[in-house]
Every structure is written in C-alpha cells, then in structure tokens.
Amino acid sequence: MSRISVRGFAVASATAVTTVGAVVGVAAGGAPAADDNNFEAAAADTTLLADIPAGQQAVVQTASLTQQADAQASAADAAAKKSAEESARIQAAKDAKSKKQAAEDRVEAERKAEQAEKAKKEAAERASRSSVRDAASFSAQGSYSVADVKAMARQMVPADQFQCFSNIVNHESTWNYRATNPSSGAYGLMQALPGHKMSSAGADWQTNPATQIKWGLSYMDGRYGSPCGAWSFWQANNWY
C-alpha cells in the first residue's frame, strides 16, 4: 500500500478543485485561465491523484492514529506496571519493618517478664532468709527430741527449701543429731565426714543440732546451690 503525507493530500485536493473549475469555464464558453501553465500543472497533479485509490488516504491516517494510540497505551501500561512494582516494593519494605519491630517488641516483652519473675523470686528468697533464725539465737539444752530438732530446722531453713533439707536429713540420720556411722565415722544430722568439719559452724557441733543445721545449710548451698540442689544430686547418687 502506498503512503501519502497530509501535505500531499492537501495539494492534490486543491489541484483537483482548480482543474474542475477550469473545465467548467471552457464548457461555458469562458476564457481559459490566464496561466495555462498552472492549468497543465494542475492537470498533471490530477492525474497523480487519480492514480491513488480514494479511500487509501483515510486508511493511512487511521493506521497512524492507531499506532499512536497503541504507543500511548503501551507507555501507560509500562508506567502503571512500574508504579505498581514500586508500590509493592514500598509495601514489602513496610511489612518487613513492621514484622521486625513486632519480633523485637516480643523479645523485649519476654526479657522484661523474665526479669520481673527473677526479681520476684529473689525478693521471695530474701524474705525467706530474713525470716529464718540463726543458730546462736537458740538456747542450749542438755538434749533435744526429734520434734525439737525439726522445729529448729523449720526456723533456720528457708521455707521453700525445707522439704528438700528434711528429705536428706531423714535419709542420713532420721533426725538424730548424735547419729554415728561406726564404719566411716560420719556424724550428726547430715552425717558429716569427718564429723569435726562441722566445727566451722560452732565448737558445740557434737551436742547442738542448731550448729549442725547451720553447717549443713552452708555445705548444701556452697556445693549444690541450695538444699533442693543437694536433694536432686542425692536422688541420682544416694549420697551428696
């Protein structure tokens, strides 16, 4: 298909009009146009226009407009796609930041909860220790019953550790502060070996259960962290 510019279309149209006018004038007996050369040129142009199909010019113009529309649509689609991708990227970055912040907030909340629980436990332990009595606060007696010794232990051992302490003493000496192992020489409530190790808690370690309890607490705390730590070890090994 041949192509024709808009400018060529306008010239051809004007030429055709001029030619028609000249023909009409001759038929009417009028004088020919002053410039016969222009007429001939117009006639030549008319011949060229006649050679081009009448609807071709409209087809060419429609094709051009369609191409322009397609180009504009493609550009609009590309811009929309780019905008959508940028929006998605921004939203993804926001979501990632939000998730990270939420995770950090959760970790911080857990840390604070752990600290609060630890502080609560430590406060309870301090309160428990502050409520216990020291061995020196008990008046010395000639002898002590099992009930007397247990009563002393309840006042000296922190409440949350008493049952563990009691379990060990019950297995080692059945609360007899004068219990002696004839084969090893272990002595007292905790069956200290040798018995004289308890002198670090008091010179009356052989006759005063409060002194023995004081030593036993110090030993369990120092070696196992607490009477319950010592009891856990005892359960696994049958000694501590």
The domains located in the chain, with CATH, are 6-69 (no CATH), 138-237 (1.10.530.10)
Structure confidence at residue 226 (pLDDT): 97
Mean pLDDT for the stretch of residues 133-152: 92
Using pLDDT thresholds of 50, 70 and 90, give the confidence band for residue 66: confident
- Position of tokens 């939420």? 102
pLDDT at 206 over 60: yes
Out of 6-15, 141-150, 163-172, which region has the weakest mean confidence (pLDDT)?
A: 6-15
SS3 186: coil
Q: Which amino acid is at 224?
A: Y
pLDDT at 153 over 80: yes
pLDDT at 15 over 70: no
Separation of alpha carbons 220 and 223, rounded Å: 5
Phi, psi dihedral angles at 187 (to 5 degrees): -140, 150
Q: Which amino acid is at 1?
A: M
Structure confidence at residue 158 (pLDDT): 95
Using pLDDT thresholds of 50, 70 and 90, give the confidence band for residue 112: confident
The most confident of 53-57, 77-81, 121-125, by mean pLDDT? 77-81
Tokens representing 142 are 């000639």
Mean pLDDT for the stretch of residues 125-149: 80
pLDDT at 45 over 60: no
pLDDT at 3 over 50: no
pLDDT at 13 over 60: no
SS3 192: strand
The most confident of 75-79, 132-136, 221-225, by mean pLDDT? 221-225
Tokens representing 51 are 């050679």
SS3 187: strand
Residues of the chain above pLDDT 70, percent: 70
pLDDT at 171 over 50: yes
Beta bridge partners of 192: 187
Mean pLDDT for the stretch of residues 14-30: 44
